[in-house]
Amino acid sequence: MTPTPIPQNVAQPSPSPYAVVIPVYNHAATVTAVIQKTLKQNLPVIVVDDGSTDDTLKNLRSLQGICLLCHNHNQGKGAALITGMTEAAKTAEWAVCLDADGQHDPDDIPVLLRSIPESGRAIIIGNRKGMENAPWTSRFGRKFSNFWVWVSGAAPLADTQSGFRVYPLPEILYLDVKARRYQYELEVLARAAWQGIGAVEVPVTVDYAPDGARISHFRPWRDFVRNTGTFARLITRRVFSPTLWYRKG
């Protein structure tokens, strides 16, 4: 049974069409700057600490103007996103999600919001430009995931691994996504496509710190195995569900 997130004594989000969700796990060195810059967008900011064991939670508790939720142990990025979006859905129609490691520029948030369709619902994805400076594992992983997300039933996409997104609420919470770690961001694209929720990609900047300076919890071989399991499950479901194949085939 998933533990109930522990609310902290910080500001609650005010009603707004949009709310920002930032999942955090052991990002003590970067999270304060990310949140401070995000707050300048004048949107409600919901931060989910996913059981950090460093000074992250201490730093978060010192910040004003955010809604802070905490998992009492690490459950995975997907679980943190679900917790944050569930909270956001109480007041907002869209959740802007970005990472706490500093690779995303909160100043690009308006770019994503302007790309929301005037009618209909879609996932807005920040297509990261400047990936030439990214580790080879990130570049390879993006190509690998792009192909298999397409095979799983989504439209062809250029950056299925980008964590800088806008999700429609509450629809995205009803997709029965099984993954609770990094694979959540891959599975949600396929399951959304199955339900007629497409994706729109928008160019955004990316800042990759020098080797050793960027805090990433992505582990190439471990997460490759997890990704493979997720794609196998999605493709099997699609193959044996004729209505899904007809919709995307």
Q: Calculate the alpha carbon distances from 166 to 4, 45, 49, 92 in Å.
A: 24, 14, 20, 12
Q: What pLDDT does 241 receive?
A: 72
Output DSSP code: residue 64: S
Q: What pLDDT does 217 receive?
A: 52
pTM, two decimals, is 0.85
71: confidence class by pLDDT, cuts 50, 70, 90: very high
Q: Examine the pLDDT at 248 and tell me if it is beyond 50.
A: no
Residue 150: half-sphere exposure toward Cβ, Cα within 13 Å = 11
For the stretch 157-177, pLDDT in tens is: 999 999 999 999 999 999 999
Closest CA to 217 of 128, 138, 108: 138
Name which of 70-84, 116-130, 149-163, 233-247 the model is least confident about: 233-247
Q: Examine the pLDDT at 3 and tell me if it is beyond 50.
A: no
230: confidence class by pLDDT, cuts 50, 70, 90: confident
24 sits in which H/E element? strand 18-24
Strands 45-50 and 18-24: parallel
Mean pLDDT of the chain: 87
249: confidence class by pLDDT, cuts 50, 70, 90: very low
The sign one gets for the Cα dihedral 42, 99, 198, 14 is: negative
